Amino acid sequence: MSIISLVFLFLLSHSLATSNNVEQNFIQCLVNSTQLTTPITGAIHTPANSSFPAVLQAYIRNLRFNESTTPKPALIVTAVDLSHVQASILCAKKHKLLMKTRSGGHDYEGLSYVAEDPFFILDLFNFRSINVSIEDETAWVQAGATLGELYYRIAEKSSTHGFPAGVCPTVGVGGHFSGGGYGNMMRKYGLSVDNIIDAEIVDVNGKLLNRESMGEDLFWAITGGGGVSFGVVISYKINLVRVPANVTVFQVRRTSEQNVTDVAHRWLQVANKLDNNLFIRMVFDVVNITNGEKTIRASFPSLFLGNTTTLISIMDQSFPELGLQRSDCQEMNWTQSVLWYYNFPTGSPDSTLLSRIPRSLVHLKRKSDYVKRPISKQGLSSIFKKMVELQRPVLTFNPYGGRMAEISEFAKPFPHRAGNIAKIQYAADWNEDGADAANRYINLTRVLHEYMTPFVSKFPREAFLNYRDLDIGVTDNGKNSFLEGTVYGVKYFKEANFKRLVKVKTMVDPDNFFRNEQSIPTLPK
């Protein structure tokens, strides 16, 4: 064996031993922590525990990061007590072990449970209490609760209250709220973060802070700037919103043979100007037609906070091109509309919302864009042609306007407000394992994203934080982290909000303990 090989083996074994020492010292620190008010031993899962694979995989929502080649954590702490969170932060800081905080695991790039450096997961799924007060129309909800659990607990107390957040019931509150949080009531009530009035966070010194003690700058940062850059968010206090006892939903589909270009073009002109109670998504995918050829299908799943008669009147006046019929519409309560929107069978009980198991798991890639001006019919035709060529990626247009256009872009870190017609999500799903399949499908999504350049926002080309996309820039959290962070930070937050987030980060976490591949950097020293 050559000298070089021997040196390499020595360095490797030394590195592994050092890594193992760090992990053992970290565990000892946890077990003996003076912070603890409840023993932590039962919450520590290492690869030596038989429970480890199940705990790790329970909240992996993107199968792209559940393969044998995916880097695994040194351990997982399934905290059941606030003191477990505090001890985890202080011990990880002391022993320089990277911490990943996971609430629901729906982050599209797996940032809450994957890293190249040695790391551990602080999993908050046990932090799921929800206290609803209909009297003052508020609720405290912990970060590990799911949206479905929140909606169910609200419905238990009232059939005329809801909350503006996503339609996927298994998404964790922590990541969803801290990154913005949107759903099909955003044109009426804005984002989740626009309806948050207090929060609890454990900071880098292990202190539990609320809005008053953390100050308005940090509160601002964790309501749209992503909580994981600043600490561990424990819970949020939200304002509930009023919903009618019955709402109306519809799903209309059109194909290329049914003037889909004309309908889509009209949607782009009116979707952000419709009645604030009306939210009409527009989804393009590629489907087979009878002779084996491919064509574009446009789907328009919708929620109207009102009755069918009023809805038909609005549509006949504002968007007759869609050809909505009374027979297309169904009236139901708001929680049933969430189940309907997420394609659960009609009549599924509200308790369906309590399931924490996704209906399906796939490998996936997501990207985002913002549309500022209507796309011409010629432009739409060229997009459809490209989609048929690529076949796999799906485009979803989410309409803005209404309340979204009334709130200042500086009110929260989320800046995408007035001036936007819609946000686009690019989606590719696949079932094959392995890097080759992943690269193939991710590349299809990138090709479509590149093709859309003339039709979307520019300088910067804006993106949505909760649609995490490492393609738009990453940081290795080294000496160039500020410059690297600016690349993606300005796309997610625009310049002014990004600068403010960096100032807050530098103030509350100057040594950059809370970090990931797209975290908020500190100011250069």
Dihedral sign (CA 331, 332, 338, 344): negative
At 101, which amino acid appears? T
Q: Where are the beta strands (DSSP E) in 207-349?
A: 208-209, 232-239, 241-242, 247-255, 278-280, 282-288, 294-304, 329-332
CA-based nearest residue to 220, from 8, 457, 507, 6? 507
CA distance 224 to 217: 12
Q: Which residues contact 237 (CB under 8 A, 6 or more apart)?
A: 138, 139, 140, 141, 196, 197, 198, 199
Tokens of 452: 């859309």
Q: Measured in whole angstroms, how far is the alpha carbon of residue 345 from the centre of its chain?
A: 25
Q: Which phi and psi (to 5°) does residue 431 adopt?
A: -110, -10
CA angle 439, 443, 446 (to 5 degrees): 145
Supply the angle between the helices 260-270 and 377-390 in degrees, to the nearest 10: 120
Tokens of 128: 């799921």
Which helix (DSSP H) or strand (DSSP E) does residue 101 occupy? strand 98-102
Which helix (DSSP H) or strand (DSSP E) does residue 382 occupy? helix 377-390
Q: Measured in whole angstroms, how far is the alpha carbon of residue 423 from the centre of its chain?
A: 14
Catalytic residues: 467
**By the 8 A CB rule, do 252 and 300 touch?**
yes
**By the 8 A CB rule, do 161 and 240 touch?**
yes
Q: What is each CA distance from 33 to 30, 44, 49, in whole angstroms? A: 5, 13, 22
**By the 8 A CB rule, do 142 and 186 touch?**
no
Which helix (DSSP H) or strand (DSSP E) does residue 238 occupy? strand 232-239
- Per the DSSP assignment, residues forming a β-bridge with 142 are 235
**By the 8 A CB rule, do 266 and 319 touch?**
yes
Dihedral sign (CA 364, 369, 374, 379): negative
CA distance 438 to 3: 39
CA-based nearest residue to 72, from 91, 94, 100? 100
Token pair 């350049």: residue: 453
CA distance 382 to 446: 17
CA distance 505 to 38: 31
